[in-house]
Amino acid sequence: MKMLLRGLKVWEVVERESTEGDKNDMATVLLFQSIPETMILQVGKLDTAKKVWDAIKTRHVGADRVREARLQTLITEFDRLKMKETDKIDDFVGKLSKISSKSTALGESMNEAKLVKKFLQGLPRKKFIHIVASLEQLLDLNTANFEDVVGRLKAYEERIAAEEEEETQDDQSKLMYSNSEPQHRDGGYRGRGRGGRYYNRGRKIIILGK
């Protein structure tokens, strides 16, 4: 909504609470179009776009005390978040981004350094310890780009997945080869003729009738 108001050159009347006719009216109309009818009834008597904006913000973000409580909950969730062994990089990044977006909406932006460090710390150590150690030595985590680090880990994840798939195929091939070998018992050959079964034991052939 903020970007829309900026794009239409009317954000200034919200930012500085101007009563300039056309711009104020346009900004107010755009705000009214973005909220449910029940809320329009509550803010319809406000005479500036700034007042409408603040009313919406208070309704959705809440008072400072409520906002702080929500932020604290998000911080706790952020600190506890770890990637599960069964998760993919994209799953974990999605959870981090979701918390970051909620925090920004509440007025507390998470810088890239914080996201990068949390991302690397939250990865399963057993699976990613080698690549994490390499990145920690190679990059300055205080200035590293979050998307760049994520891209490197995704490439590593795909490589590991390809190697595991190749190993699985090799194991299956070995198993199929093993199952296709003829089975012998007591060093001889067991078969069935027309008259019954026969066993080859050394030079003697014993024939058993039906």
Token couple for 152: 């490197």
- Does residue 31 fall inside a structural domain? yes
39 with 92, same domain: the answer is: no
CA distance 29 to 55: 15
Rounded to 10 deg, the angle between the 112-122 and 146-180 helix axes is 20
Select the more confidently predicted residue: 85 or 61.
Answer: 85
The arithmetic mean of pLDDT across residues 116-134, rounded, is: 93
Residues contacting residue 57 through CB under 8 Å, at least 6 positions apart? none
In a domain, 33, yes or no: yes
pLDDT of residue 41: 83
Residues 107 and 13 occupy one common structural domain: no
Specify the pLDDT at position 145: 95
Same domain, 133 and 86: yes
Q: Are residues 49 and 133 in the same domain?
A: no
Which region holds residue 155: left if phi is over 0, alpha if psi is between -120 and 50, else beta?
alpha
Domain match, 41 and 93 both: no
Total domains, the chain: 2
Q: What whole-number percentage of the chain has pLDDT above 70?
A: 77
Is 198 among the domain residues?
Answer: no
Residue 68 confidence (pLDDT) above 50: yes
Confidence of residue 203 (pLDDT cuts 50, 70, 90): very low
Do both 140 and 49 map to the same domain? no
Q: What is the pLDDT of residue 198?
A: 45
In the predicted model, is pLDDT for residue 144 greater than 90? yes
pLDDT at residue number 149: 96
In a domain, 194, yes or no: no
Res 170: pLDDT? 57
The secondary structure of residue 35, as a DSSP letter, is S
Residue 47 predicted with pLDDT over 80 = yes
Burial of 67 from C-beta contacts in 10 A (0-12 / 13-18 / 19+)? middle
Tell me which residue range forms the domain holding 7: 2-61
One domain for residues 73 and 154: yes
29: nearest Cα among 54, 49, 11: 49
* Residue 171, pLDDT score: 56
pLDDT class for 142, splitting at 50, 70, 90? very high
| Mean pLDDT, residues 35-44 taken together | 82
84, 36: one domain? no
Domain membership of residue 208 (yes or no) is no
Residues 80 and 50 in one domain: no
Q: Same domain, yes or no, for 68 and 93?
A: yes
Return the pLDDT at 15. Answer: 85
- Clarify whether residues 57 and 76 are in a common domain: no
| Residues 154 and 70 grouped into a single domain | yes
Query: Does residue 26 lie in a domain region?
Result: yes
pLDDT at 43 over 80: yes
**Quick one: pLDDT at residue 107?**
84
The mean predicted confidence, pLDDT, of the chain is: 81
